[in-house]
């Protein structure tokens, strides 16, 4: 079992890694360019496309968005064509939200733009650095997938 100090060191390094990835690899202005909704709404779109149709209360809890703030977000996503609202067939008190094809297509396009941008940035690295990344990233993704 690792000591608390070792876990804190790993956490500190991961924090730096996340900041570096965000700053050096992902350009938020390019990611958000051309979207008709703000970043807070994109979190909901990403959630719906990843988790599938969900009740409003679950989305709010999982994304830590207050329920009063969810109503205008959901209304805006519906108005922009990114989501649809429907009643739960088993419990009419529950309102589910589902991502539309437009939401899936938008995320697919933004992912492609980001992948191309990151690929351009990676092209400046040496072959050794690229090989190291290729060997390091898959196990890192596997490990991060285990975190609850």
Looking at the domain assignment, is residue 9 inside a domain?
no
Q: Quote the CA–CA distance of 69 and 111 in Å, as a whole number.
A: 27
Q: Quote the CA–CA distance of 116 and 125 in Å, as a whole number.
A: 15
Structural domain boundaries enclosing 45? 16-145
Looking at the domain assignment, is residue 8 inside a domain?
no
Q: pLDDT at position 2, please?
A: 86
- Tell me how many domains the chain contains: 1
Looking at the domain assignment, is residue 59 inside a domain?
yes
Query: What pTM was computed for the model?
Result: 0.77
Looking at the domain assignment, is residue 6 inside a domain?
no
Q: pLDDT at position 21, please?
A: 84
Tell the burial category of 73 from Cβ atoms under 10 Å away from its Cβ (0-12, 13-18, 19+). buried
Please answer whether residues 63 and 44 qualify as being in contact, where contact means their C-beta atoms are separated by less than 8 angstroms. Answer: yes
Q: pLDDT at position 45, please?
A: 95
Q: Quote the CA–CA distance of 38 and 50 in Å, as a whole number.
A: 19
For the record, the structure tokens of 83 come out as 């989501």
Looking at the domain assignment, is residue 95 inside a domain?
yes
For 30-88, how does the pLDDT look when each residue is reduced to its tens digit (9 = 90+)? 677 777 888 889 999 999 999 999 999 999 999 999 989 999 999 999 999 999 999 88
The CATH number of the domain holding residue 63 is 1.10.10.10
Percent of the chain predicted with pLDDT > 70: 99
């Amino acid at each position: 079992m690792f000591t608390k100090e070792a876990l804190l060191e790993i956490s500190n390094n991961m924090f730096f890694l996340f900041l570096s990835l965000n700053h050096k690899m992902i350009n938020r202005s390019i990611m958000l360019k051309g979207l008709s909704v703000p970043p807070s709404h994109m979190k909901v779109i990403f959630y719906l496309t990843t988790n599938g149709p969900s009740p409003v209360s679950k989305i709010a809890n999982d994304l830590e968005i207050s329920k009063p703030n969810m109503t205008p977000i959901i209304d805006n996503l519906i108005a922009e064509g990114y989501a649809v609202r429907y009643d739960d067939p088993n419990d009419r008190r529950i309102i589910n939200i589902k991502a539309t094809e437009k939401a899936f297509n938008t995320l697919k396009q933004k992912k492609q733009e980001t992948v191309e941008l990151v690929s351009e940035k990676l092209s400046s690295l040496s072959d050794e650095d690229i090989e190291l990344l290729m060997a390091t990233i898959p196990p890192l993704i596997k490990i991060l997938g285990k975190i609850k």
